[in-house]
Structure 1
Amino acid sequence: MVARKPARWSGSDDALRAVQVAFDVEQAVLDAVRTAAFHNNLSTSDQIRQLLKLSSATRPKRPRLTVSLTSQDYELLAGRYGLPADDRLAIKERVTQELIRFAQSPDPHP
């Protein structure tokens, strides 16, 4: 018996078939694409799609920063902030506050 997918999932068929492609290029190319993406307020992926004259998502993306944190990272941050290492939400809030202070500093370039 073949399971039928819900109708609301049909719009994701193309995304499921998409393949991520990595390009090995020199640093100058990386810098140029990243700088253009920054100035155009785009992700690097959307900037590449724009350069290639391909469509990209028209819905606005949630502005966010991401970083991968290991258990050791959480332990280190918990110690720095005086929080339990398993209180990841509180640690995330403190990191968010630190990022905001960084952005508001006179020269946010370390």
Structure 2
Amino acid sequence: MTTPPDWSKEEKAVQAVQMAFDLSNDIQRAFRVSAALQDMSTSDMVRKVLQLPYQKNRARPRLTITLKDEDFELLAEKYGLDPLDRATIRHRVSEDLRAFAGNYLTES
């Protein structure tokens, strides 16, 4: 007989409550900038300010964007690619993001 998988982490995640706060753009910007300067997520910065446990280093530092089919069509046109070639589009977008960030980074 096999033992059931350990779902304790998933159960805790289901019990967690996400809270949203309507704060001014200046306050939100202060948290985003402060978090970025400390290589933290914005939510971890909030947790730090509230003296709650938080991750010191991001587990998977990444940027996210939601793209619709129309976005892939526009990007494919920009790069001269097939809109269905999403892997190559993703690669080209990654190159553009690196190039943009290169204007702001002092070391690579």
TM-score (norm 1): 0.82
1:21-61 Cα offsets, whole Å, 9 max, x none, are 11001122112111211111111100001111111245641
Alignment of 1:48-63 (within 5 A): 48-57=46-55, 60-63=58-61
Match of 2:72 among 65, 68, 74: 74
Alignment of 1:21-100 (within 5 A): 21-57=19-55, 60-100=58-98
State, as a whole percentage, how many aligned pairs show the same letter.
41
Give me the whole-angstrom Cα distance separating, in 1, the residues matched to 2:16 and 2:63. Answer: 24
Give the drift of 1:18. Answer: 0.8
Give me the whole-angstrom Cα distance separating, in 1, the residues matched to 2:73 and 2:41. Answer: 31
Runs of 4 or more above 3 Å deviation = 57-60
- Unpaired segments ≥5 residues, structure 1: none
In structure 2, relative to structure 1, the CA distance for the partners of 1:29 and 1:59 (3 Å cut) is closer
Q: Which has the higher contact order (CA 8 A, sep 6+)?
A: 2
In structure 2, relative to structure 1, the CA distance for the partners of 1:40 and 1:59 (3 Å cut) is closer
Alignment size in residue pairs: 103
Give the drift of 1:99. Answer: 0.9
- Unpaired segments ≥5 residues, structure 2: none
